[in-house]
Structure 1
């Protein structure tokens, strides 16, 4: 039976192309590339939404609070063997007034809402992988991205990573720091370019295989 993997994230999971502000084609998006890497034994489910936060309520655009949507999302797509949560970039916006520690706490809160709902293939909990996005590049302040993000978004997105890793370990979740392997694209410094999508697919392919190999040997 194929393993079902839900990818819950923001615009970098949806596939936002900063060069033309459209969506990358399925041949470019890391989610579809990941499907090709993993093959027919896996089913990758795309659940990316531009602007999505973990726990922040966006007063300018509705429906972007991940905490409110994660439950109907997992119930829609169950059974699930793995849930990947890749959030944090939008939570760094100045107008949300979140500290790096707060941002990490919010992401973990979303992850914990996946538990105890019987959405696994055998009515148990799915595996959960927390992916820390690559930090926002400091030059975002010189492009239009600054109008949305405000001050210190680069610092917050960077400084939240060690908190997120520690909290993920404490809660028994798998963790991957994407910033060790790739960086945001040069167009707006907060969205992946084509190379970034390719690299993301490669590192997740390896991580997912490790997760299920370890599970089989428990």
Structure 2
């Protein structure tokens, strides 16, 4: 059985926009992704490591543990052997507590890629392949998270392009989720249930075409 680690934030954790509730596994995209791959005949296990508010490499001044670089090497060690690591991060880099642009966020992703490749896995275990998934572009935030993401739709412009450049430079796989879906119509940040389904199925197709299981 091949193991795939998904390392992400609330977009993947499955938060239901404008609530604190969570979609069940088979409704959030990692579950849709696993089930779709299974239906294609692959024997895979998707491991979720998704934390609400996680940045690429920056801390949250109000909540502990949101720097995605902290502890990542140990997460890779913990779950090895891994066939693939999928990153979908960046959205929280544009919270109002940061004044980042797309280039800076993508540089954070480059650091995460390096950490995976340098992780202290056991001798003989493979270094996993990596896929960077650009999150959907932020729409004007609304609802309960509007203040937290104020003006983030401007700061995030160009993120998919910058992530693709990093993926190319680091020789990892890339997928732009904005090519198949958008951010939530409810809050402009997260994914609605139907968007989880669309993304999970699209990623299953992309991974099946590019990874040799």
**Shared fold by TM > 0.5?**
yes
Q: Secondary structure at the match of 1:22?
A: coil
2:125 paired with 1:123: yes
C-alpha contact (below 8 Å) 1:118/1:125 kept by paired residues? no
Q: What corresponds to 2:209 in structure 1? A: 210
Q: What corresponds to 2:64 in structure 1? A: 62
Q: Secondary structure at the match of 1:179?
A: helix
| CA distance, structure 2, for counterparts of residue 27 and residue 191 of structure 1 | 17
Q: Secondary structure at the match of 2:97?
A: helix
| CA distance, structure 2, for counterparts of residue 198 and residue 162 of structure 1 | 24
C-alpha contact (below 8 Å) 2:3/2:84 kept by paired residues? yes
Q: Secondary structure at the match of 1:135?
A: coil
CA root-mean-square deviation: 1.7
Structure 2's unaligned 5+ residue stretches are: none
**CA shift for structure 1 position 150:** 2.3
- Greater fraction helix: 1
Q: What corresponds to 1:160 in structure 2? A: 159
Q: Secondary structure at the match of 1:83?
A: strand
What TM-score do you get using the length of structure 2 for normalisation? 0.92
**CA shift for structure 1 position 194:** 0.7
The match for 1:48 among 47, 50, 53 is 50
Structure 1's unaligned 5+ residue stretches are: none
**CA shift for structure 1 position 118:** 5.8
Q: How many residues align?
A: 210
2:161 paired with 1:147: no
Q: What corresponds to 1:81 in structure 2? A: 83
- Name the CA shift for 1:9/1:196 in 2 (closer, same or farther; >3 Å): same
Q: Which runs of 4+ in 1 moved over 6 A?
A: none
C-alpha contact (below 8 Å) 1:81/1:120 kept by paired residues? no
Q: Secondary structure at the match of 1:75?
A: helix
